[in-house]
Amino acid sequence: MLSLALTGLELKNPLMLAAGIMGTTGGSLKRIADNGAGAVITKSLGIEPASGHNNPTMVEVDCGYLNAMGLPNPSYKNFQQEIDIAAGAGTPVIASIFGGCALDFSEIAGVLDADAFELNVSCPHAWGYGAQIGTDPDLVEDITKAVKAATDAPVWVKLTPNVTDIISIGLAAQRGGADAVVAINTVRAMAIDINSGYPILGNRFGGLSGRAIKPVAIKCVYDLYDALKIPVIGVGGISDWKDAIEFIMAGARAVEVGSAVGNNISIFKDISSGMEAFLMEKEWTLDEIYGMAHKI
Ligand SMILES: Cc1cc2nc3c(=O)[nH]c(=O)nc-3n(C[C@H](O)[C@H](O)[C@H](O)COP(=O)(O)O)c2cc1C
């Protein structure tokens, strides 16, 4: 009832683990896949191992989380065996990758064997990476083209909401040959400890995720669905089946869940069963609710 084809991948449901949450080992990725995710996405992998920003790197705030991890990762060079372990679950494994230029991205995509690549051009707190690249349409187009030339696997481009016009970045990814776009990465944000007067995060500022950003993400998905020919994958603040349905009605072909996984490892099973019961009660199919908010 929930199965679908997404950029050539067969998914048992449209629910995926978002990049950066429980995605640093093959064992944890497999555990999420075994717990009902339709696909899993790795932590973003770069050229060299990196330890990220100083602590604190994550803090809970009203309605969500602030993080400035700074892209800690073991490097793609040490990660193929983890992807292979995760693939043991029989669920597609998508490699999230980042770099400072097109050459970095194409080097990684040319070597790693994954079911698809998600290009992180949207992390808001890593100097020289992420959103520093993903706010420039020409760079996004060039990087997407370079990765497409380096691999036969589908290429998804993950967008930042920290721009004036997300559509122009989505169109650049589409021009570069992206098979899908993913919206959104975290929203640039910060918090200050009023007792000391210091910014709380080690990096001073970071990205907001969780419930607070869902309406922002819904609007981005809605606008991208109208403007692009390629599928949009929704992410941002999903914590139950109603949120997932809302994203699909906004125009997301599939969705990713990040922050909410921390509170509930079974969340993918819970969302799937809630969606199935809702669709049955309404006598709607997944295809019928896809982009429904545009048709009314
Ligand atoms: C602790 C943490 C680490 C993250 N690391 C990555 C990452 O490595 N690459 C990436 O593209 N997004 C990363 N993200 C962003 C998420 O994948 C997602 O886009 C964002 O958190 C919004 O979804 P959510 O509200 O469901 O968490 C991270 C988010 C969090 C909270």
Q: Are 250 and 218 in contact (CB under 8 A)?
A: yes
pLDDT tens string 67-123: 999 999 999 999 999 999 999 999 999 999 999 999 999 999 999 999 999 999 988
Kind and range of the H or E run holding 114: none
Output the pLDDT for position 130: 79
Q: Which fold has domain 4-45+73-186+210-294?
A: TIM Barrel (3.20.20)
123 catalytic per annotation: yes
Tokens of 69: 């991890």
Q: For residues 123 and 120, what is the distance between their CA atoms, to the nearest angstrom?
A: 7
Domain ranges of the chain: 4-45+73-186+210-294
Atom from ligand 1 closest to the CA of residue 158: 11
DSSP state of 73: B
Q: For residues 143 and 222, what is the distance between their CA atoms, to the nearest angstrom?
A: 25
Going by DSSP bridges, is the β-strand pair 15-17/252-257 parallel, antiparallel, or unpaired? Answer: parallel
Q: Is 159 in the pocket of ligand 1 (CB under 6 A)?
A: no
Q: For residues 59 and 69, what is the distance between their CA atoms, to the nearest angstrom?
A: 11
β-sheet bridge partners, residue 199 = 192
Kind and range of the H or E run holding 134: helix 131-134
- State phi, psi for 60 to the nearest 5 degrees: -80, 135
Ligand 1 geometric centre to CA of 172 (Å): 22
Ligand 1 geometric centre to CA of 254 (Å): 16
What is the spatial order of strands in the sheet that 58-61 belongs to? Answer: 58-61, 64-67, 205-209, 187-190
Q: What is the pLDDT along the chain (296 residues), one digit of tens a residue?
A: 899 999 999 999 999 999 999 999 999 999 999 999 999 999 999 999 999 999 999 999 999 999 999 999 999 999 999 999 999 999 999 999 999 999 999 999 999 999 999 999 988 878 788 778 889 999 999 999 999 999 999 999 999 999 999 999 999 999 999 999 999 999 999 999 999 999 999 999 999 999 999 999 999 999 999 999 999 999 999 999 999 999 999 999 999 999 999 989 999 999 999 999 999 999 999 999 999 999 87
SS3 123: coil
Q: With helix as H, strand as E and coil as C, how does 96-109 read?
A: EECCCCHHHHHHHH
Q: Cα–Cα distances in Å, from 229 out to 4, 46, 279?
A: 18, 29, 26
Considering the entire predicted model, what is its pTM?
0.98
Output the pLDDT for position 124: 83
Atom from ligand 1 closest to the CA of residue 73: 8
The proportion of the chain whose per-residue pLDDT surpasses 90, expressed as a percent, equals: 94
Output the pLDDT for position 161: 97
Q: Is 239 in the pocket of ligand 1 (CB under 6 A)?
A: no
Output the pLDDT for position 41: 98
